[in-house]
Amino acid sequence: MKYLNYTLALLISLALFASCGSNQKKEQSSGTFSMEDYIKAAETIDPSINNVEQMFDILDMVNAEYYDVLTNDPYNAHSYKASYPIAAANMGIYMVDILYHFYGEAQETMYLTFQAAQELAKEIGVESEFGTWTIEKLEGSTMQRDTISRMFNALLIDSKQYGSEQEMIFVHTAFLTGSFVEKVHITGNLLKQKLLAEDISQEDEGDIRELLVIFMNQLNPSSTVLYDAFLAQQDKLGELVVLATFEKLKDLSEHLTELKTTLAVAPVSEIGESQDLKTAFQLIENLRSILVTAQ
């Protein structure tokens, strides 16, 4: 019953957010197509690594499809309790998934995913206020940006499980990593799906260019910020797989930024064949695989 009350309230609060946010499809003037307008619209998306709520902006802007296979299985939550960082990272993944399930009107899966996130919140010591705090902030009269991340910070401070600020910072970095990786994982796969379409209309082409710009904006500077955070805390990393992957992603994202002005206006066929873009997709999938298969 406790989970049911939380999830029903979350559904209401997310509906409130969707109605007051930028949840509107783009409109095109009849018979016209402006590549510059699409790219300009995509540039308005805030690439902040801890702004989980921006998922609504991205999905609506590009007329995204809903693919449940892109999300993490909520029944995997029990396997992420080996360490606080792994639990926190997958909590970040689940928080992004909750919004994607809501977008796809997959209510049952959204409920299960919220339960999974709450299970991990309990594991890392922030469960006591997780449900009510999130709901109160989302239902507030003035919508706070980065709500979930701020909640996470506040609850870590209140938790009794951490003996130092350094431990809390590391766990929070893991949470931000999970939400970043899942957001870019979903964005990248939506872009790949649209590039694979046989018949691409002008509107489809606009969606592709918007998603491309959003994807590249998400990578830089976010990947650099997270790489620097892990580098500063590498003494706490049992393995350097995540750090090494972020270093590659950071370097590649900087290169993609240099290519953005030409790649964003290139023929769609050339975008789909870009080896740099394919490498970026693969690095994100590698990062996500490390997180969601952790035992």
Per-residue model confidence as pLDDT tens digits over 24-66: 444 444 456 677 887 888 888 888 887 777 888 899 899 999 9
- For every residue of 238-286, DSSP letters joined together read S-SHHHHHHHHHHHHHHHHHHHHHHHTTS-HHHHHT-HHHHHHHHHHHH
| Residues 172-192, mean pLDDT to the nearest whole number | 90
Average pLDDT (215-239) is 77
**pLDDT score of 78 more than 90:** yes
Inter-residue contact 194 to 211 (CB < 8 Å): yes
Sorted by sequence, the CB contacts under 8 Å of residue 287 that are 6+ apart come out as 177, 181, 242, 245, 246, 249
- Orientation angle between helical segments 2-20 and 107-123, nearest 10 degrees: 110
pLDDT number for residue 151: 57
Give the model confidence (pLDDT) of 231-275 as tens digits: 777 766 555 456 677 788 888 888 888 888 899 889 999 999 999
* Percent of residues, the chain, with pLDDT higher than 70: 72
pTM of the model: 0.81
Report percent pLDDT > 90 for the chain: 27
pLDDT for 18 beyond 70: no
User: From CA 278, how far away is CA 142, in angstroms rounded?
Assistant: 40
What whole-number distance in Å separates Cα of residue 248 and Cα of residue 12? 41
Q: What value does the mean pLDDT take over residues 200-228? A: 88
Whether residue 243 contacts residue 237, with contact meaning beta carbons closer than 8 Å, is answered with yes
Output the average pLDDT for the chain.
77
Lowest mean pLDDT segment, chosen from 48-62, 75-89, 128-142, 207-221? 128-142
Distance CA 121, CA 8 (A): 18
Compare 6 and 269 and report the one with higher pLDDT.
Answer: 269
CB-neighbour burial class of residue 243 (10 A; exposed 0-12, middle 13-18, buried 19+): middle
Placement of tokens 């989302």 in the chain: 138
> In Å, how far from its chain's centre is CA 211?
14
The span from the CA of 163 to the CA of 173, in Å, is 17
Residue 28 has phi, psi (to 5 degrees) of: -110, 140
28 in the Ramachandran plot: left (φ > 0), alpha (ψ -120 to 50) or beta?
beta
| Structure token digits, residue 69 | 């296979």
